[in-house]
């Protein structure tokens, strides 16, 4: 059985992710849905914030179908994110799975999820610096509801260290095949 709407897919997945976060509170994670960013509105962002500055950001795009469009959308989020993911309904993901090579080349994560709560990670992207300082600042100011000055340092655009702790999330049993 497939998800009927994108909302249903995202809501269900995020419930599961929140459970994951609760068990990993020490990572100082925050999240926000539908952040208006240059080039699109990611359905969900997860970020690590220290002293009101963002140290690491993951952008997520949910799609029921049209994985190719989702891939291109997610790629645009690499302007301001350290990792980006496309999350698809497993029942409608065959074509995307066949093309996982394109996700790997573009360094975009691919996850499938189904109504039975099964998560399968087909591609973990390599943590990377966002492509653009400018767009990162814009997104940071949206998230923090504050104006980020031109010259203000934003650690997450300079380093991928923040990814170290977050990368531990990948080892969580929910994200790995048992």
Q: How far is the CB of 72 from other proteins (least distance, A)?
A: 5
Q: Is residue 124 part of the contact set for other proteins (CB under 8 A)?
A: no
Shorter beta-carbon distance to other proteins: residue 5 or 95:
95
State in angstroms the smallest separation of the CB of 19 from other proteins.
Answer: 32
Q: Smallest gap, in angstroms, from Cβ of residue 101 to other proteins?
A: 11
Please identify, using beta-carbon distances, which residue of 105 and 177 lies nearer to other proteins.
Answer: 105
The piece of 22-30, 73-81, 116-124, 166-174 that touches other proteins (CB under 8 A) is 73-81
- Residues belonging to the chain: 178
Tell which one of 13, 47, 75, 156 touches other proteins (CB under 8 A): 75
**Binding stretches for other proteins (CB under 8 A):** 38-40, 69, 71-73, 75-76, 78-79, 105-107, 130-132, 134-135
């Amino acid at each position: 059985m497939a998800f009927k709407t994108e909302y249903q897919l995202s809501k269900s997945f995020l419930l599961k992710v929140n459970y994951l976060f609760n068990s990993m509170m020490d990572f100082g994670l925050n999240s926000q849905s539908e952040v208006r960013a240059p080039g699109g509105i990611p359905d969900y962002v997860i970020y690590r914030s220290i002293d009101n500055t963002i140290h690491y950001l993951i952008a997520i795009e949910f799609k029921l179908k049209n994985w190719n469009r989702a891939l291109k959308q997610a790629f645009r989020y690499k302007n301001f994110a350290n990792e980006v993911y496309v999350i698809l309904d497993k029942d409608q993901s065959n074509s995307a799975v066949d093309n996982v090579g394109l996700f790997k080349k573009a360094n975009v994560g691919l996850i499938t999820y189904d109504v039975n709560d099964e998560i399968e990670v087909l591609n973990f992207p390599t943590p990377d610096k966002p492509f653009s300082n400018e767009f990162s600042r814009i997104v940071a100011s949206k998230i923090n509801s504050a104006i980020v000055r031109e010259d203000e340092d934003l650690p997450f655009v300079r380093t991928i260290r923040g990814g170290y702790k977050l990368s531990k999330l990948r080892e969580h049993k929910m994200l790995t095949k048992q």
